Structure 1
């Protein structure tokens, strides 16, 4: 196959999904707006640009909610994704799988769920809200929370049948819409009250489920097993892309290209960002559980994940990367000095080596998966903790080249951090989001 691209495409002028994560309007992306990655319209543009054949398999080691996966699916490309966040991996798997029936069945299941919920609410036998975490109780009015918990308990009990997973996500996506506290990305602030974007829980759930049903019907022709091309596969696994075992379920042919957006080195906590959903569904009930069950498997990109031992181990791991390791060590030293000079400095000096050591592991697994001349596109931004500039895309490209991936292009897509320009406590270093094109040697 011919994988030789021309000029890389510019980002869509709409900018959809660029400010706070995935798009709130694109099909499948709109199921739940996870604050990471890019919008599927741009993912599709990049995939088309790579020129993979219909027999090609696209891999995404940071698959998130399957933005690249759904875009690949619509283009007739096979897909293999890896995602370490268990709740988000579940969502990605749901988007990619063959639905049990047409979308009308999902809407009907939603109506049955709502009717069952109304009967319970009509009896005044409300659920025990004292069992809910403080965060959940503080984010909703009592009446709203009673409705949400009643519907959740019915879904948990199997009231929705074969559509339970879809209605679970319809309800989870409704939470922030009906919250009476500030729960915008990335952090929940239950102490700051607001007027809910949508006051009616039932109607908003209906709207959410209707969107999901529309997307399932509109794109059903792209899904297996209705397709006749038997080579086609589309899956997302919950795993750690640093671990070679997470790549083991790939077809024996390996991948033919990669489109991915690694976590940014910007102190964004992807686990904490979903704390409301995790707590509400009961996957975790405390901060320590969230750290142990969700955050612990993620690549270190925040100071909350960092540790002295982890930084030391990462520094030793990076020693094989020569000049790149020296650059990382220099940055680490500068950040350590800056932290020491501050009364309550953050441990960026521990994050940096752990982050790049983890990325190097993923890049090596990616290189081992791609055949010669196969392309890989990474969307990644730089950062400047305490005003110390870290050229993350360039350092990643250096690590990639030592793993067997040649750097072809490094293109600035847009400037970042402009909305913080008036913050006098923030640095004034100009940041950008970049597109890095690599190719297997």
Structure 2
């Protein structure tokens, strides 16, 4: 397998691509792969693709669709991430306006002499742990300048995205975009906030000019939406997406640093009410806070196609957790996850043409060492929702590299293809 093919399930290559590289989200896949699938679909069917993206993330599929002037509809359950994706859609705005707004912001921020609020910046909270006083002072001045100058003009969403995108690069602690913040880890390269802002501004301007000169068309629609609830789009014929994996990664927590910086939350505890309600349940923190009744979930008719298997797995998880220190509620997490996915498949089916094609980049999991065959169950739930068939294309093996892994169950990641 070629290395780039194996990596098509990740965001890595996007950091070299115009617009896509404006913000690196903790989950995603290659935009170049999306491009190839759009071309392949149109060549094989002779139809113009109309794309549905129910887990839009930072907008990879939708921005790729703009490259081809292909209509696309994206929905993202995380409100902060949805705003990032919508901002990236503004690549078509006037670069002179962006430059003027950026210069105005830097001038305003440079003139400010305010010191950080000790309530916002102290060593007991995440912001205080992640930034030196000098770095946070400059970031805070950028934020205050933005709040003074911004108006309803969409160009200010790009300015806000710029500030958001440099927050981790300006921190001295472990803040890699694809993982949780690690205050006890340090990194050697730390950017000055004002210099980082100006550098990102230049990158954004160059990317916008490239997109316009290359013939991109603003043909995507992205909305903050919980896709477990009914939604309606133009009938689509191609779906390219990657749902959260059932592996206990807390997507609500992925942008905690950024949301705290902008004052949208005060800490981890606020995620329950601000973010989690519109996210599908893929981590034990979410399922435990929802106080899920396992029997009630498993008795839902939407889970009938996999009821025997999922009942067996959740029973084993319920038993084994009592022998573990954390007693994590993986049993209810897995049940809730697949019920959520079942609801989403029903909603997807209503918005897809009969001869459509869907692809989920997905991986299986093994909480507490109990295997959860995610791609198989997702495929069976898709067929139950009205699709005709499914197949799985493995891209790579997982859980074979790290010596400190919590179990030895071999896992994999790949593409679940659904027809009909």
Q: Find the counterpart in structure 1 of residue 65 from structure 2.
A: 72
Unpaired segments of 5 or more residues in structure 2?
none
C-alpha deviation, 1:310, in angstroms: 5.0
Tell me the alpha carbon deviations over residues 358-391 of structure 1, each in whole angstroms, 9 at most, x when there is no partner: 0001111111111111111111001111111111
Quick one: distance in 2 between partners of 1:163 and 1:25? 23
C-alpha deviation, 1:212, in angstroms: 1.7
C-alpha deviation, 1:241, in angstroms: 0.7
Quick one: distance in 1 between partners of 2:190 and 2:39? 37
Q: Find the counterpart in structure 2 of residue 5 from structure 1.
A: none
SS of equivalent to 1:23: helix
Q: Find the counterpart in structure 1 of residue 77 from structure 2.
A: 84
C-alpha deviation, 1:96, in angstroms: 2.1
Q: Find the counterpart in structure 2 of residue 223 from structure 1.
A: 217
Quick one: distance in 1 between partners of 2:304 and 2:252? 32
Quick one: distance in 2 between partners of 1:76 and 1:34? 24
Quick one: distance in 2 between partners of 1:331 and 1:427? 16
User: Where in structure 2 are the equivalents of 1:194-213 lying within 5 Å?
Assistant: 194-195=187-188, 197-213=189-205
Asked whether the 8 Å contact 2:18–2:210 carries over to 1, the reply is no
Quick one: distance in 2 between partners of 1:316 and 1:112? 59
C-alpha deviation, 1:26, in angstroms: 2.0
SS of equivalent to 1:115: helix
CA RMSD of aligned residues (A): 2.3
How many residue pairs end up in the alignment? 410
SS of equivalent to 1:173: helix
Tell me the alpha carbon deviations over residues 285-340 of structure 1, each in whole angstroms, 9 at most, x when there is no partner: 132322211122211100001134354442222x4443411111111011111112
Are 2:240 and 1:259 aligned?
Answer: yes
Are 2:22 and 1:31 aligned?
Answer: yes
C-alpha deviation, 1:55, in angstroms: 4.2
The 1:86–1:10 alpha-carbon spacing in structure 2 relative to 1, beyond 3 Å, is: farther
C-alpha deviation, 1:275, in angstroms: 0.3
The 1:417–1:212 alpha-carbon spacing in structure 2 relative to 1, beyond 3 Å, is: farther
C-alpha deviation, 1:10, in angstroms: 7.6
C-alpha deviation, 1:17, in angstroms: 7.3
The 1:376–1:323 alpha-carbon spacing in structure 2 relative to 1, beyond 3 Å, is: closer
Tell me the alpha carbon deviations over residues 234-271 of structure 1, each in whole angstroms, 9 at most, x when there is no partner: 20111111111xx23x23xx112111101101110111
Quick one: distance in 2 between partners of 1:361 and 1:316? 14
Q: Find the counterpart in structure 1 of residue 119 from structure 2.
A: 130
The 1:353–1:104 alpha-carbon spacing in structure 2 relative to 1, beyond 3 Å, is: same
Unpaired segments of 5 or more residues in structure 1?
1-8, 225-232
User: Where in structure 2 are the equivalents of 1:108-257 lying within 5 Å?
Assistant: 108-120=100-112, 124-132=113-121, 134-159=125-150, 162-184=154-176, 185-195=178-188, 197-220=189-212, 221-224=215-218, 233-244=219-230, 247-248=231-232, 250-251=233-234, 254-257=235-238
Asked whether the 8 Å contact 1:132–1:280 carries over to 2, the reply is no
Asked whether the 8 Å contact 1:29–1:39 carries over to 2, the reply is no
SS of equivalent to 1:131: coil
Asked whether the 8 Å contact 2:166–2:197 carries over to 1, the reply is yes
Are 2:369 and 1:387 aligned?
Answer: yes
Quick one: distance in 2 between partners of 1:147 and 1:71? 34
